[in-house]
Structure 1
Amino acid sequence: MPPIDRRAWMLLDVGTLSTVAAEFAAASDANRVLSPEVAEQLVKSGFARYFVPAANGGTEGSFSELVRALYETSQACASAAWCGLIYATSGRMAAFLPEGGRAAVWRTGADRPIAAALAPAGTAVPARGGWRLSGEWGFLSAVDHADWVLLCVPDPSSGAADPWFMALPRADFTVRDTWFTAGMRGTGSNTATVREAFVPADRAYRRTELATGSGEAPAAACHRVPLLSVAGLPFAAVVAGIARGALDEWTAWTGTRPARESDTTRLLFARAAAETDAAWLLVERAARVADDPELARGHATRNARDTSHAAQLARAVVSRLFESAGSAAQAETNRLQRFWRDAHAAASHAAVRFEHHGIAYARGVWDGTAADR
Structure 2
Amino acid sequence: MPESWGKSAVTASGIDALKATAGKFFADSERERNLHPEVVEKILCAGFARHFVPHEHGGTQGSFGELARALVSVCPSDASAAWCALIFATSGRMAAFLPAAGRAQVWRDGPDTAISAALSPAGRAKPMNGGWRLTGEWNLVSGADHSDWALLCVAAPTQRGAQLRFMAVPRSAYRVRDTWFNVGMRGTGSNTIVVDGAFVPDELSFTREALAAGAHADVPGACYRVPLQSVSGLPFAALCLGIARGALDRWSEWTADQRIAGSPMRDHEAARLVYARSAVELEAAQLLVERAAGAADDMARAEEFGMRNARDMAQVAEVSRAVVDRLFDFAGAQAQREDDPLQRAWRDVHTASSHVVLRFTHHGCEYARQAWTDAAA
1:355 corresponding residue in structure 2: 361
Identity percentage over the alignment? 54
1:155 corresponding residue in structure 2: 156
User: Secondary structure of 1:166's match?
Assistant: strand
- How far the C-alpha of 1:11 sits from its partner, in A, is 6.7
Moved more, 159-168 or 177-186: 159-168
Counterpart Cα distance in 2 of 1:83 and 1:366: 38
Paired AA for residue 79 in structure 2: A
Contact 2:9 2:62 in 1 (8 A): no
Contact 1:11 1:46 in 2 (8 A): no
CA deviations 1:329-365 (Å, max 9, x no partner) are 0112211100000000000000111110011111111
Q: Counterparts of 1:41-56 in structure 2 under 5 Å?
A: 41-56=42-57
State the aligned residue count.
367
Contact 1:138 1:192 in 2 (8 A): yes
Match of 1:311 among 313, 317, 337: 317
CA deviations 1:239-261 (Å, max 9, x no partner) are 00000000011111111011222
Contact 2:50 2:89 in 1 (8 A): yes
Contact 1:24 1:38 in 2 (8 A): yes
Counterpart Cα distance in 1 of 2:22 and 2:108: 29
1:29 corresponding residue in structure 2: 30
1:235 corresponding residue in structure 2: 236
Q: Counterparts of 1:167-178 in structure 2 under 5 Å?
A: 167-178=168-179
Structure 2 gaps, min length 5: 260-264
2:289 corresponding residue in structure 1: 283
Contact 2:23 2:77 in 1 (8 A): yes
Counterpart Cα distance in 2 of 1:6 and 1:157: 41
Counterpart Cα distance in 2 of 1:11 and 1:162: 41
Please provide the CA RMSD for this pair: 1.7
Moved more, 24-33 or 103-112: 24-33
User: Secondary structure of 2:97's match?
Assistant: coil
Contact 2:62 2:223 in 1 (8 A): yes
User: Secondary structure of 2:157's match?
Assistant: coil
Distance 1:9 1:308, change over 3 A: closer
TM-score, with normalisation over the residues of structure 1? 0.95
CA deviations 1:123-180 (Å, max 9, x no partner) are 0001121110000000000111000000000023269464000000000000000001
Counterpart Cα distance in 2 of 1:12 and 1:288: 24
TM-score, with normalisation over the residues of structure 2? 0.94
1:324 corresponding residue in structure 2: 330
Contact 2:34 2:189 in 1 (8 A): yes
Counterpart Cα distance in 1 of 2:8 and 2:198: 38
Counterpart Cα distance in 1 of 2:355 and 2:186: 14
User: Secondary structure of 1:163's match?
Assistant: strand
Moved more, 262-271 or 211-220: 211-220
Moved more, 6-15 or 19-28: 6-15
Contact 1:242 1:343 in 2 (8 A): yes
Counterpart Cα distance in 2 of 1:112 and 1:67: 20
2:262 corresponding residue in structure 1: none
1:104 corresponding residue in structure 2: 105
Counterpart Cα distance in 2 of 1:24 and 1:32: 12
